[in-house]
Amino acid sequence: MPQVQYLKGNPDARCRHLSVSFLNMTICSIQDCGQVANARGWCQKHYYRWKANGDPLRSRYNMDGETVACSVENCDGLVVATARKRTATLDKPYCPKHYGRARRGEPLVRARERGDGAIRDGYVFRFRRDHPDARKSGYIAEHRLVMEQMIGRRLLPEENPHHKNGVRSDNSPGNLELWNVSQPAGQRAIDKLAWARHIVALYEPLESRL
């Protein structure tokens, strides 16, 4: 490898001088590489590829510039060229998230991503990250999902499904009834009358479903 000598006193301080002529340098034998050969006729990059993978052209990082979809089913992540890692045991294109799981021996698809239920305080929660009322974790109570299917719309903030038999994990439609915890804004008769009319208009069309 040619030795690099920095010239002193140069006002630019970035100018450098090679101790040997470029005409005597050996260029990497890989086509279109153009780097100075380091060992076995290859540059440092291709030499270490051969040393690690047995092939100077094979890299753990595919640098061909292509972008493909992750090989995990239902994963919408794209595998960018620099993130498409390959090894002898992982020969499929994975996005960075699934590649890390595969290398650690973890399941590629976790339970919550399959929508499997989780029990908390007796309630069943489902993983629905796209639901507007889902928690930051992506979970939402299953009884809310069932009630929304029953009434055909999204639940209002003052609405709460109630379990008739007291079993929180029993989310069958026959065991759920819709409760409303709203109260009128004031105690005057006219305020209560307006609130009552609102309740009738809201739930009378749903009477057969409740």
For residue range 17-46, list pLDDT tens digits in order.
Answer: 444 445 567 888 888 888 888 888 889 888
User: Are 44 and 80 in the same domain?
Assistant: no
Same domain, 65 and 90: yes
- The token pair that represents 31 in the structure block: 């086509």
Q: What pLDDT is attached to residue 203?
A: 87
What total of structural domains would you count in the chain? 3
Distance CA 82, CA 31 (A): 21
pLDDT in tens, 73-115: 777 776 654 444 444 445 567 788 888 888 888 888 776 666 6
Which structure tokens are listed for 60?
């753990």
183 and 124: one domain? yes
Can you give the pLDDT at residue 138? 83
**Contact call for residues 72 and 54 (beta carbons, < 8 A):** no
Mean per-residue pLDDT, 184-196:
79
Could you read off the pLDDT of 123-180 as tens digits, one per residue?
A: 888 888 889 999 888 889 999 999 999 999 999 988 999 999 989 889 999 999 999 8
Strand segments, DSSP code E, in the chain are 4-6, 16-18, 68-69, 78-79, 118-120, 123-127, 139-141, 159-163, 176-180
Range of the domain at 25: 1-58
User: In this structure, are 123 and 197 located in the same domain?
Assistant: yes
Among candidates 78, 75, 81, 80, which has minimal Cα distance to 59? Answer: 81
Looking at the structure, do residues 176 and 92 belong to the same domain, yes or no? no
Tell me the C-alpha distance between 149 and 141, whole Å. 13
pLDDT tens digits, 57-81:
876 655 455 566 777 877 777 665 4
Contact between residue 115 and residue 126 where contact means Cβ atoms under 8 Å apart: yes
Residues 199 and 120 occupy one common structural domain: yes
Domain identity same for 76 and 102: yes
- In which band, very low, low, confident or very high, does the pLDDT at 13 lie, cut at 50, 70 and 90? very low
Q: How big is the CA angle at 124 (ends 119 and 128), to the nearest 5 degrees?
A: 110
Give the Å distances, CA to CA, from 123 to 42, 175, 199, 203: 63, 14, 28, 26
Amino acid identity, position 81: A
Domain identity same for 103 and 121: no
65 and 48 assigned to the same domain: no
Do 200 and 117 lie in one domain? The reply is yes
- Give pTM, 2 decimals: 0.47
Is the same domain home to 199 and 117?
yes
Q: 39 and 69 share a domain?
A: no
In the structure encoding, which two tokens stand for residue 87, read together?
């090894």
